[in-house]
Amino acid sequence: MTASIHTPSPLTRLSDEEQLFYSTVLQFAQQAIAPHVRAMDDAQQLDPALIRGLFELGLMGIEIPEEHGGAGGSFFDAALAIQAISTVDPAVAVLVDVHNTLVVNALRRWATADQKRRWLPRLATDITGAYALSEAGSGSDAFALQARAEATSAGYLLNGRKLWISNAREAGLFIVFATLDPAAGYRGITAFLIEKDTPGFTVGRKEDKLGIRASSTCELLLDNCELPAESLLGEPGKGYKIAIETLNEGRIGIGAQMLGLAEGAWGHAARYAKERRQFGKAIAEFQAVQFTLARMATEIEAARLLVYNAARLKDAGQPYVREAAMTKLFASEVAESVASQCVEVFGGNGFVRDYPAEKFYRDAKVGKIYEGTSNMQLMTIAKHLLG
């Protein structure tokens, strides 16, 4: 359940087309996703039929050009879709987010014409993408990679291990980063396109997570994985550039996810406050509860301004790295705060799995961690402010 929180301000007002798109995705989420949220969370697995539905609605090819079978939409459209889905289930939104803001955008920008012809139509219609950068010793220090790539007469040979890879169970195409020249430091990092059934490439153990449990997060194993030369994405040694620029965009996507999560939590809290009665009246009639809901709504509106502004800047070709970092930092804080207050509005019922509050609370925590921790966002913001 969601509710209207605000009267749109100029910066958050949507065009008629954007409003229709958002409403369509939200309706899909409420009708097709909501009935399965609890079961998917318990099973720690997305419903395959639901993934097919995402493709059929065009949500896996939002920015893919029409000539390649996509919708030809904007980055802002992708953010709206992530936001709408997250109001119902942030775990499903992860699939859409990583696929669109990381994988598709990386291919649109750095793939060759042949790679685009081969992969973009599939990514728009029937194959999910995953983005494999992180390793056991390479989290915030993203370029301390141990995975190695060796040039061969036929192409490349990869060895190593990746951790915490979202979409790993569902994906058919992976962007994998490995070091081609260790002596070159981060300038040796190179990106490769790997199909799931490639010999020597294995999707390993799935993490047992606190939140977004239906979203798969797995290790990847590279054991003498042989790749043809055309598997290279971009130029040798330019993987660091692909990673940095793609993650800058992805942070706006996480901001949209956290915004939607907060909206969903607020909607459930507002409805429950009107239904729950104590001392002979609905708890929504108590000033303390009213003030709690008002503060939550204010935080959400501020997060919305940041998310929409950053996405608009990106689409306009304007500098947005600082704004993207601010967006992820603040929206993740708002999501955790609002989800926590939602639990408190529900009282004892907020602490049990029969009600949705506890899941929003569990799902919110990862917003401060993945695609750059809050401390990394603060470092980025400070760098851009202070030069």
pLDDT digits (tens, 9 = 90+) for 265-313: 999 999 999 999 999 999 999 999 999 999 999 999 999 999 999 999 9
User: Tokens for 324?
Assistant: 């993207």
25 and 113 part of one domain? yes
Given this model, what pLDDT does residue 13 score?
Answer: 85
65: left (phi over 0), alpha (psi -120 to 50) or beta: beta
pTM for the predicted model, two decimal places: 0.96
197 and 247 part of one domain? no
pLDDT bin (cut points 50, 70, 90) of residue 12 is confident
Sign of the C-alpha dihedral, residues 134, 255, 234, 318? Answer: negative
Find the mean pLDDT for residues 148-165.
97
Residue 5 reports pLDDT greater than 70: no
The answer to whether 371 is a known catalytic residue is yes
pLDDT tens-digit readout, 74-89: 999 999 999 999 999 9
72 and 141 part of one domain? no
Q: Is residue 121 part of a domain?
A: yes
> Which CATH number is 305's domain given?
1.20.140.10
pLDDT tens-digit readout, 196-213: 999 999 999 999 999 999
266 and 355 part of one domain? yes
Convert 216-240 to b/e letters by CB count within 10 Å (16 or more is b): bbbbbbbeebebeeebbbbebbbbb
CA distance 161 to 164: 10
Mean pLDDT across the chain = 96
Residue % of the chain over a pLDDT of 70: 97
> Which CATH number is 78's domain given?
1.10.540.10
93 and 138 part of one domain? no
Domain around 119: 16-128
Residue 7 reports pLDDT greater than 80: no
- Number of domains the chain contains: 3
How do strand 281-282 and strand 171-179 relate by DSSP bridges? unpaired
180-189, 196-205, 213-222: least confidently modelled range: 180-189
Q: Which of 219, 336, 358, 371 is flagged as catalytic?
A: 371
Q: Is residue 274 part of a domain?
A: yes
Given this model, what pLDDT does residue 208 score?
Answer: 98
76 and 146 part of one domain? no
Choose the final residue of a domain: 218, 239, 260: 239
Q: Is residue 5 part of a domain?
A: no
pLDDT bin (cut points 50, 70, 90) of residue 3 is very low
Find the mean pLDDT for residues 44-54.
98
Residue 1 reports pLDDT greater than 90: no
Q: Is residue 9 part of a domain?
A: no
DSSP 8-class letter at 210: S
Q: Is residue 3 part of a domain?
A: no
Q: Please state the separation of Cα 367 from the chain's center in Å.
A: 9
Residue 9 reports pLDDT greater than 80: no
Choose the final residue of a domain: 189, 215, 239: 239
Given this model, what pLDDT does residue 86 score?
Answer: 98
Given this model, what pLDDT does residue 379 score?
Answer: 97
344 and 230 part of one domain? no
Q: Is residue 276 part of a domain?
A: yes
